[in-house]
Structure 1
Amino acid sequence: MKQSALFSGFLYILLGIVFTYFAIENIQTNQGWGFFTYILVILATFDIGSGIRLIAFHFFIKKSANKNKKK
């Protein structure tokens, strides 16, 4: 099954939000920042960054395809 970059981008952003939620819960239950919390924040950062990049790539490809149709 072929997935579009737009769908994958939203999926990555959703995973980043979930990891952020788990990191916040971990901070509140453990009363501070631990090793696992830092790992969750790093994973959330990578996922959100990848999601934004994939969504931007989707619109770049779409814009490029429309530009080629007009020629």
Structure 2
Amino acid sequence: MGMAIIYFAMGIGFIYLAIHYGDSTWDLTSLIFAVVATLDFGVGFKMISDHFRSKNKK
């Protein structure tokens, strides 16, 4: 569960970087940061899902 929180924090950080350092919406830098943030959020949701799924099996 702790790693999921770290991934969510990294996702928020990459969104901040995409907004702060991107000159426009379609700038390559902001798109890369947005893609990495999306992957971080996806991994975080998957970890939380697996945590609750394994907790319910016990």
Same fold (TM over 0.5): yes
Equivalent position SS for 2:15: helix
The count of aligned residue pairs is 57
List alignment gaps of at least 5 residues for structure 2: none
Question: What amino acid sits opposite 1:20 in the alignment?
Answer: I
- Report runs of 4+ in structure 1 exceeding 6 Å deviation: none
List alignment gaps of at least 5 residues for structure 1: 1-5, 66-71
TM-score (norm 2): 0.90
Structure having the higher Rg:
1
Q: Deviations over 1:46-65 (max 9, x none)?
A: 00011011011001111111
TM-score (norm 1): 0.75
Identity over the aligned pairs, expressed in percent?
32
